[in-house]
């Protein structure tokens, strides 16, 4: 039997509490608060305590979906990302960078949100970037 704790960030809100995923034989089986995390200091709300519950849920999407003939079908990450890159380039070329907008999420980490605004501004060239916490 192999057991380990993996330190990560709670995915449920912008507070970003630290938690340890309890991994038993390669499977996440629970959550423990991270005592040394500078923000949460060993505390979690009920969502954080259950942050592992969705990982193996049968309804969880684990593959990207693309619409083909009006139906969503599974595809590979390479194909999905190529399609997104192609469509973003096409829109930018045809209608300019401000034809594109990005909406980020409190369920992403601060670092991921930073990267999305950087991508919007530096790669696409638009300031059309917002965040669900402002909705």
**Binding-site member from 15, 29, 73, 83 for ligand SF4 (CB under 6 A):** 15
Quick one: which segment of 39-47, 61-69, 91-99, 122-130 binds ligand SF4 (CB under 6 A)?
39-47
Instruction: Give the sheet arrangement for strand 18-24, strand by strand.
Output: 3-9, 18-24, 27-33
Give the interface segment with ligand SF4, choosing from 14-22, 23-31, 60-68, 114-122 (CB under 6 A). 14-22
Q: Which stretch binds ligand SF4 (CB under 6 A): 41-49, 63-71, 72-80, 123-131?
A: 41-49
Closer by beta carbon to ligand SF4, 48 or else 120: 48
- Per the listing, tokens 């330190």 go with 7
CA dihedral 34, 37, 42, 48 (to 10 degrees): -70
* Strand 102-104, strand 129-131: pairing: parallel
Token pair of 47, please? 């969502």
Query: Which chain residues interact with ligand SF4 by CB under 6 A?
Result: 10, 12-13, 15-17, 40, 44-45, 47-48
């Amino acid at each position: 039997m192999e057991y380990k704790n993996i330190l990560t960030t709670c995915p449920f809100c912008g507070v970003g509490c630290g938690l340890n995923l309890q991994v038993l034989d390669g499977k996440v089986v629970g959550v423990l608060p991270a005592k040394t995390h500078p923000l949460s200091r060993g505390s979690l709300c009920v969502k954080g305590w259950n942050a592992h519950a969705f990982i193996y849920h049968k309804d969880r999407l684990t593959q990207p979906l693309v619409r083909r003939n009006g139906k969503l079908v599974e595809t590979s990450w390479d194909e999905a990302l190529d399609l997104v890159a192609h469509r973003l380039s096409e829109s930018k070329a045809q209608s300019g960078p401000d034809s594109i907008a990005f909406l980020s999420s409190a369920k992403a980490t601060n670092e991921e949100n930073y990267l999305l605004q950087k991508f919007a501004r530096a790669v696409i060239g638009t300031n059309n970037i917002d965040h669900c916490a402002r909705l």
